[in-house]
Amino acid sequence: MFKRPVERFFVKKNLSRVSLRVALVYPNLYRGASSSLGYQLVYFLLNSYPEVACERATLEWPLTIESGLPLKRFDVVAFSLYYELDYVNVLRIIRESGLNPRRSGRDRPLVIAGGPCTANPYPLSEYVDAFVVGCFEAVADRLVETLLSHSGEKRPCLESLASTPGVFVPEVGNPTVLQRVANLDSSFYPVPQVLSQEGPFSSCFMLELSRGCSWGCNFCLLGYTQRPRRDRSARRLAELLEEAKRYGYEKVAFISSDFLGHPDAVRVVNMALEMGYSISLPSLRADAVGDELISTLERGRVRTVTVAPETASKKLKRVLGKEIKNEALLNLAGSLPKTVSTLKLYFMVGVPGETKEDVKQNLELISRVYRAFKKGGAGRRVVVSINPFIPKPHTPLQYCPFPNLERLRGVLNAFRELRAPGLTLRFLHPKRAFIQAFLSLGGLDAAEVLARVFESGLNPSAWFKAIGSALETVKRVREGCNPEEELPWEIVETGIPREHLRLRFARAMEAAGKR
């Protein structure tokens, strides 16, 4: 039995005195929910409406944390989707709440979903009534207004939601445009945030410097769906830090997918240190780290630095659209202050055009980075995460197939030959990566696969038995997509022209030697 977490700063409203009751569900463990800024933002934003009460639930806590009520007692059940492998948990949570997982067999509560994964809503389209696509803050006012004014029959509510920009309703089948917040300074931001003792950021104040990314790496979903990058001003960030300090926060976790792209990033970190905060930084781009940040890392006694070089191969850097020179990574590893005890690296394998020579270059770079970093102290650790390439919708590499499973196993075995004191290797299993790719590129046929896997009792082997029936999606995953054909997820318009994706794809394939 899950023990109710010890928390501060949660919201508890009288459910009998509001017009709209929302259960916000994180379809995985509580520790992940407590460390998700997006999840917390939605929770506090919904509770900022006087007529709305929002309570939380997670995979192991299917009754709401605030009131201990089952989900079927709410008007809306909303899921935050950050990871494709959580999809089957959505069905599980709905069923265990006493509800029909299929939307066609369910009237109320209304089930909606949001988060990065809704850029392709089809795999869950048989189970979710409406998808919020893009930034929730940009949709919230209209969404809440519609839900408040349509508490009766389901169909009129869905039709009204379908007319809302950024909402996709499967029953209606309406094309929609992904919504973005244009001005982060004027948008809602949660202060305080739920404070607990579980999860990597659970006891921190999470501070988002920017949203989106200016680099446009060919494989990155957020790099395309959240383009262009928008920055919070240093003035607004200072205000948020000061406000959080009044609630007793002692540590700030900076959130950004393009941290050093923010023109005042280092200045804001130093500002936090001057206020007495300890700090945690997101992944850093090695070629953007300067002497000022190195000094700040030492001053803030930062223990862990994360970098994602992806590959050592110049050819594959061009394929991925992430051309960071190896020398920049080596220089960073050798210049990090002694306060940094752990260096985390992320590498990608199975990249289109990858050869044995490319794999060899990866192994050599890891060894060189390890030696450079270990010179700063024998007790230092290097943690390397090796993940298979997974094609994502709305990116230039969406047209590529998932790498051959047998070849992937061979590549990962080559990495396992790396052994040294203080060197840790972590792998995403190729079969799990394949399932993730299947759901990432899934069409309507993927929805039926989810049902079969769920009915099988969530047996891992059931995935590959069920996947075989989804012929169209399996073909996309194993053979790639035809750039000239319309793709299922293009019902969501991101604002990035299809011609731009095709051009970037063609250049990537030329770099890979495939054209």
In the chain, what are the helix, strand and coil shares in percent, each to the nearest 5? 45, 15, 40
- pLDDT computed for residue 237 by the predictor: 98
* Residue 173 predicted with pLDDT over 80: yes
Question: In what order do the strands lie in the sheet containing 304-310?
Answer: 304-310, 342-349, 381-388, 423-427
Mean pLDDT across the stretch 177-201? 91
Instruction: Check: CB of residue 473 under 8 Å from CB of residue 123.
Output: no
Cβ burial 288-318 (10 Å sphere, 16+ → b, else e) = ebeeebbebbeebebeebbbbbbbbbebbbb
* Residue 62 predicted with pLDDT over 90: no
Burial class (CB within 10 angstroms; exposed 0-12, middle 13-18, buried 19+) of 371: middle
Question: pLDDT of 313-365, one tens digit each?
Answer: 999 999 999 999 999 999 999 999 999 999 999 999 999 999 999 999 999 99
pTM of the predicted protein model? 0.96
Instruction: Check: CB of residue 440 under 8 Å from CB of residue 488.
Output: no
Task: Examine residue 479 and state whether it is found in any structural domain, yes or no.
Answer: no
Task: Examine residue 83 and state whether it is found in any structural domain, yes or no.
Answer: yes
Please tell me the distance from the alpha carbon of residue 175 to that of residue 486, in angstroms, as a whole number: 13
Mean pLDDT across the stretch 493-499? 96
**How much is the mean pLDDT over the chain?**
95
Residue 198's pLDDT band (cuts 50, 70, 90): confident
User: How many domains does the structure of the chain reveal?
Assistant: 1
Q: Which two tokens stand for residue 65?
A: 């944390």
- Neighbouring residues of 510: CB distance < 8 A, sequence distance ≥ 6: none
Q: Which of 107, 110, 111 lies closest to 91, judged by CA?
A: 111
Other C-beta atoms within 10 Å of 469: how many?
Answer: 12
**CA distance to 77, 264, 287, 436, per residue, from 117 (Å):** 17, 30, 29, 11
Instruction: Check: CB of residue 172 under 8 Å from CB of residue 139.
Output: no
Residue 151's pLDDT band (cuts 50, 70, 90): confident
Question: pLDDT of 371-430, one tens digit each?
Answer: 999 999 889 999 999 999 999 999 999 999 999 999 999 999 999 999 999 999 999 999
Residue 2's pLDDT band (cuts 50, 70, 90): low
* Residue 21 predicted with pLDDT over 80: yes
Please tell me the distance from the alpha carbon of residue 455 to that of residue 462, in angstroms, as a whole number: 9
Task: Examine residue 88 and state whether it is found in any structural domain, yes or no.
Answer: yes
Task: Examine residue 98 and state whether it is found in any structural domain, yes or no.
Answer: yes
Task: Examine residue 81 and state whether it is found in any structural domain, yes or no.
Answer: yes
- By percentage, how much of the chain surpasses pLDDT 90? 93
Range of the domain at 98: 15-177
CATH value at residue 121 = 3.40.50.2300
Beta 210-211 vs 230-231: how paired, if at all?
Answer: antiparallel
Please tell me the distance from the alpha carbon of residue 119 to that of residue 185, in angstroms, as a whole number: 25
Task: Examine residue 298 and state whether it is found in any structural domain, yes or no.
Answer: no
Please tell me the distance from the alpha carbon of residue 454 to that of residue 69, in angstroms, as a whole number: 24
Instruction: Check: CB of residue 222 under 8 Å from CB of residue 213.
Output: yes
Residue 6's pLDDT band (cuts 50, 70, 90): confident
| Residue with tokens 């994180």, as numbered in its chain | 26
Q: State which amino acid sits at residue 139.
A: V
Q: What is the number of alpha carbons within 13 Å of residue 308 lying toward its C-beta?
A: 15
Task: Examine residue 397 and state whether it is found in any structural domain, yes or no.
Answer: no
Mean pLDDT across the stretch 436-461? 89
Task: Examine residue 432 and state whether it is found in any structural domain, yes or no.
Answer: no
- pLDDT computed for residue 322 by the predictor: 97
Q: State which amino acid sits at residue 390.
A: I
* Residue 461 predicted with pLDDT over 70: yes
- pLDDT computed for residue 203 by the predictor: 76
Collapsing DSSP to helix, strand or coil, 285 comes out as: coil
Q: From the centroid of its chain, how far is CA 220?
A: 10
- By percentage, how much of the chain surpasses pLDDT 70? 98
Least confident of 134-143, 192-201, 329-338: 192-201
Please tell me the distance from the alpha carbon of residue 371 to that of residue 375, in angstroms, as a whole number: 6
**CA distance to 130, 199, 497, per residue, from 62 (Å):** 21, 19, 41
